Amino acid sequence: MFRNIRFILPLTMILLSVAVFNLSCELRSAWADEAGAEFNIKNEGIKKDNIFNLFFGGAPLMPTENGTVIIDAYLDLNDNQLWDTGEKPLDKVVICVLDGVEYPVPAFIPGLENGTNYSLKCTSSEYEPSVKNKNIFIKKRGEIIKIEVPCSLPASRTAMHAGEIKPQ
């Protein structure tokens, strides 16, 4: 009978110390939350560098940490600035310049920095894009901006096509 007490007593002490530790952590956490709310303290973790960052640098930004712009162009037959059914896309006819780089439309442009304003300029030799200059601002992480550029026929081509149409 006394043999078992030798094992029970240390086990009881360990369980009791774990319970006291958990209780003190909960009390400390509750006090910290209360003090943080009272003094408007944000409880953010401390950023620590590790040995790999010293040698190899930090991890690259994830694709979702930057903004993305998607540009499409279409022939707006009824000039309502909406892409209606039956209006054809204009692939590789419109060229857009964003941040000094030319992109044939349709364009998918990833990796744009947050909080940055970009100037978009669209041109075409065959059509008149209604969006000539547009400012784009990437305001939040992972933002995807879709731009549809309605285009019309230039006046010279419209007059040519009007002469071809014969009344029936």
pLDDT digits (tens, 9 = 90+) for 94-126: 999 998 999 999 999 988 888 888 999 999 999
pLDDT of residue 37 exceeding 70, the answer is no
Cis peptide before 60 (omega within 30 of 0): no
pLDDT of residue 18 exceeding 90, the answer is no
* Mean pLDDT value of segment 20-41: 51
* Mean pLDDT value of segment 48-56: 66
- Reduced to 3 states (helix: H, G, I; strand: E, B; else coil), residue 149 is strand
Residues 63-153: name the CATH superfamily. Immunoglobulins (2.60.40.10)
Compute the distance between CA of residue 63 and CA of residue 68 in angstroms, rounded to an integer: 9
- DSSP H or E stretch at residue 97: strand 94-98
User: Taking all residues of the chain, what is their mean pLDDT, rounded to a whole number?
Assistant: 74
Where do the structural domains in the chain lie, given as residue ranges?
A: 1-44, 63-153
CB 105 within 8 A of CB 69: no
CB 34 within 8 A of CB 68: no
